Amino acid sequence: MQLERRGYVKAGHWTPEAAVEHPEAVRQLHREFLRAGASVIQTFTFYCSEDKLEISGNINDAACDLAREVADQGGALVAGGEKEVKAIFKKQMDDFLKKDIDFLMVEYFEHVEEAVWAVEVLKTSGKPVGATLCISPHGDMSGVPPGECAVRLVKAGADIVGINCHLDPLTCVRTVKLMKEGLEKAGLKAHLMVQPLGFHTPECNHTGYLSLPEFPFALETRSLTRWDIHKYAREAYNAGIRYIGGCCGFEPYHIRAIAEELAAERGFLPPASEKHGLWGAALEMHTKPWVRARARREYWETLLPASGRPTCPSMATPADE
């Protein structure tokens, strides 16, 4: 979404031709996330397989090179991932392995059955494998509960399980909690991961923001503030989730907010915090006294942001799911 807004990607399937057409744009976005505190740089390869794009192999090669180049500048890891059935995953896995990515990530699955197929293929690589579903607390599109989804993924060999996309942070954290409960009941263990939307989606389930009338070109009014992200990061950490990130709608300053909220646990602040006073501290030098008064945590933690739109409804009516 960030590259679409910057004019490098066409909306729809969000195909990643930019990795070969505008590598400098992809590289710069990677750098911004790295500077903001990201520990993982994910390859820009979503929806890029031969049944989607004839030049997918070249794109995957270029995307891996860009991610590795930037990740090495800050000691981050590189994750690669694709979605499709086993034959396609084998082809994609081979492309990634040629670039020696650090671990493999399969994401954006609405059906756990398909995710299990992917994990089974990727485990043959010898690399750690993560798997995330874009499902709600109600379960996947076939009605499989989150806890059972997690059990199936771990039994297939996933080292990391969790949720990505479709819904807002606190909803996604709630779903991961259900996955964790399922694993505990089954006597299984795995690292937990969450990569939610950077948008508020309180009225949605299952297909999430895809069913909102604002999708995809009018979502700005639903954007999360950095303070929303602080709350999310703490909620996720307290739930036992240690791979905490973001999906569509997340910008570098959101990642910085995660890094700042968890600075004590991580032991350091990211380079981008040099230009950001924690909890508004930089406002202490503002010329206006009422703005200087906002240089405190309590103000931002209790703020209820207004939309600024006189006739803006508080909720929308999602499309049929």
Beta-carbon contacts of residue 188 (< 8 Å; ≥ 6 apart): 150, 151, 154, 155
pTM above 0.95?
no
1-13 tens-digit pLDDT: 899 999 998 887 6
Higher pLDDT, 70 or 194: 194
Q: Let me know if residue 310 belongs to a domain.
A: no
Segment 110-131 shows an average pLDDT of: 95
More confident residue, 81 or 39: 39
- Is residue 98, in this structure, part of any structural domain at all? yes
Q: Is 74 exposed, middle or buried (0-12, 13-18, 19+ CB in 10 A)?
A: middle
pLDDT number for residue 10: 86
122-128 mean pLDDT: 96
Mean pLDDT of 65-84: 76
Domain span at 295: 1-302
The answer to whether residue 52 scores a pLDDT higher than 80 is no
Number of domains making up the chain: 1
Q: What is the CATH number of the domain that holds 274?
A: 3.20.20.330
Helix 23-36 vs helix 252-261: crossing angle, to nearest 10 = 20
Binding residues: 165, 247-248
Asked whether residue 313 is assigned to any structural domain, the reply reads: no
pLDDT digits (tens, 9 = 90+) for 282-295: 999 999 999 999 99
Q: Do 8 and 22 form a contact (C-beta atoms < 8 A)? A: yes
The two most distant CA atoms of the chain are separated, in Å, by: 63
Residue 284 lies in a domain: yes
Q: Is the pLDDT of residue 31 over 90?
A: yes
pLDDT for 56 beyond 50: no
Binding residues for Zn(2+): 165, 247-248
Is residue 211 in a domain?
yes
Check residue 54 and give its pLDDT.
Answer: 53
What is the pLDDT at residue 53? 52
Residue 51, pLDDT > 60, answer: no
Higher-confidence position of 143 and 80: 143
Q: For residue 60, is it within any domain?
A: yes
Q: What is the pLDDT of residue 46?
A: 76
Whether 202 is covered by a domain: the verdict is: yes
Q: How confident is the model at residue 62 (pLDDT cuts 50, 70, 90)?
A: confident
240 occurs within a structural domain: yes
Q: For residue 7, with 0-12 CB atoms within 10 Å meaning exposed, 13-18 middle and 19 or more buried, which class applies?
A: exposed
* Lookup: tokens for 140: 């996947």
Q: What is the pLDDT of residue 80?
A: 57
